[in-house]
Amino acid sequence: MLSIKSAEKKDVCILSLNGDLVFNELEDFDRIFMEKLWKKPRVIGLDCKHLNSLDSSGLGLFIKFSKESLKSNVTLIFINITEHISTLFDVSKLDSMFEIMSETDFKATYLE
């Protein structure tokens, strides 16, 4: 099961993911992300600290979010990716497509 918490500070939106981003969990996350994107924040951060697992459909959703963010002129940042998620990004060659930051760097760059 995937739970998503949203926090907004100024023109920055952070979506914190907790659980598994797998095929049967995509619909709600897609809807929530697109609602946030529609509001045109400057930045959307996806906090993956508690994202336990990710399958190919979850990776596909991340690619969709990246493309939609680019079209909307919104910066998409992946925060706190785990070693497991980092390995998936590396193997699938997506690490060069996504902007990845530590929580500390994200806060210093966008929230201070």
Cα end-to-end span (Å), the chain: 33
pTM of the model: 0.93
Q: Are 58 and 22 in contact (CB under 8 A)?
A: yes
Confidence of residue 93 (pLDDT cuts 50, 70, 90): confident
Query: Which of 45, 38, 39 minimizes the C-alpha distance to 16?
Result: 45
DSSP label of 74: -
Mean pLDDT confidence for 32-40? 96
pLDDT-derived band at 90, boundaries 50, 70, 90:
confident
| Burial class of residue 5 (count of CB atoms within 10 Å of its CB; 0-12, 13-18, 19+) | exposed
pLDDT of residue 10: 87
Structure tokens that stand for 2 in this block: 């995937």
User: Does domain 2-111 correspond to CATH entry 3.30.750.24?
Assistant: yes
**More confident: 90 or 78:** 78
pLDDT grade for 4, boundaries at 50, 70 and 90? very high
